[in-house]
Chains A and B, each alone.
Chain A
Amino acid sequence: MFTSKINIRIRDTILDPQGKAVEHSLKSLGFDSVVDTRIGKYIELKIDAATEEEAKKITDDTCRKLLANPVMEDYEFSITKDGEGK
């Protein structure tokens, strides 16, 4: 069993109004060093696959077909084998 941790964000070239609103709020709290804020989505999948390669392919397919919209979003993910890395 593998776990895919997927991050989906609005493309860098597209205005993220939510991120801007949060950034203004951070600045008003005194976090002047924050120069950019982007808000995205985090999705976690448990995948029953034989190999990491297969899990990677399945994850990529889920992103392309449903989880992300390539017109406006970019995605990246990492995969870990369950029970490892503890």
Chain B
Amino acid sequence: MDHVKAGVIVFPGSNCDHDVYNVFRHILNADTKFLWHKETDIGDRNIIILPGGFSYGDYLRCGAIAKFSPLMNEVIKFANNGGVVIGICNGFQVLCETGLLPGALLRNENLKFVCKTVTLKVENNKSIFTGEYRIKEEIEIPIAHGEGKYYCDEETFISITGNNQIIFRYKDNPNGSLDDIAGIQNVKRNVLGLMPHPERASDEAIGNTDGYRFFKSVAESLL
């Protein structure tokens, strides 16, 4: 997929950056680059991924400090101009902190770091991120987070529901997320954040490729 020019942002403390790189570079065969957070230009990239991890040690709040990285200014401009941005786990937290996505991610209700494979329901397959799935399809994707409880106020909830911004829901809510929300997109439909890790379920060698179609969907949308 030569038309895909992926940029994987690396913050100090990112730890899923190589997994995402592997999917884009070696499974989708896309032109893929790491982008260090101190850089000031995203160059010719046409999709940006904020990977999971613990940027800046999750100090203050998850994602709060990462949002002021020099490269994030460019990512915000890129997104506001319609560029495709995906935030996975910590990346989702960063996108909420920057305001590119509504709401916030709070401490899991049971106070535990939950690391297991969960069942997600694809709530909207009209998004550029889910075209390869069937509506209401159930897929198995791993989660690994301590602060993944999605929260927003009532007004925001009404608006994201009305705009079909909820893309994935948990079948069995593992963290207390509002309305079982696992992943949402923005109003303009070019930015998506999700707590589960599709990049950990994309390689046949691992035995689960339910996440592969997520990346394939978005790669094909760039054509």
Contacts and interface: CB of A to CB of B under 8 A. Distances in A.
Interface of A: 10, 14-15, 17-18, 21, 66-67, 69, 71-72
A interface majority secondary structure: mixed
B64 A69 contact: yes
B186 interface: no
Nearest to B103: A71
Contacts of B110: 17
B interface majority secondary structure: loop
B97 A69 contact: yes
A66 B64 contact: yes
B151 interface: yes
Nearest to B62: A69
Given A17-B111, A72-B106, 8 more contacts: A14-B106, A14-B151, A17-B107, A18-B107, A69-B104, A71-B96, A71-B104, A71-B151
Contacts of A66: 60, 64-65, 68
Contacts of A14: 106, 151
A61 B149 CA distance: 27
B104 A72 contact: yes
20 contacts: A15-B109, A15-B176, A17-B108, A17-B109, A17-B176, A18-B107, A21-B111, A66-B64, A66-B65, A67-B60, A69-B61, A69-B64, A69-B104, A71-B96, A71-B103, A71-B104, A71-B151, A71-B152, A71-B153, A72-B104
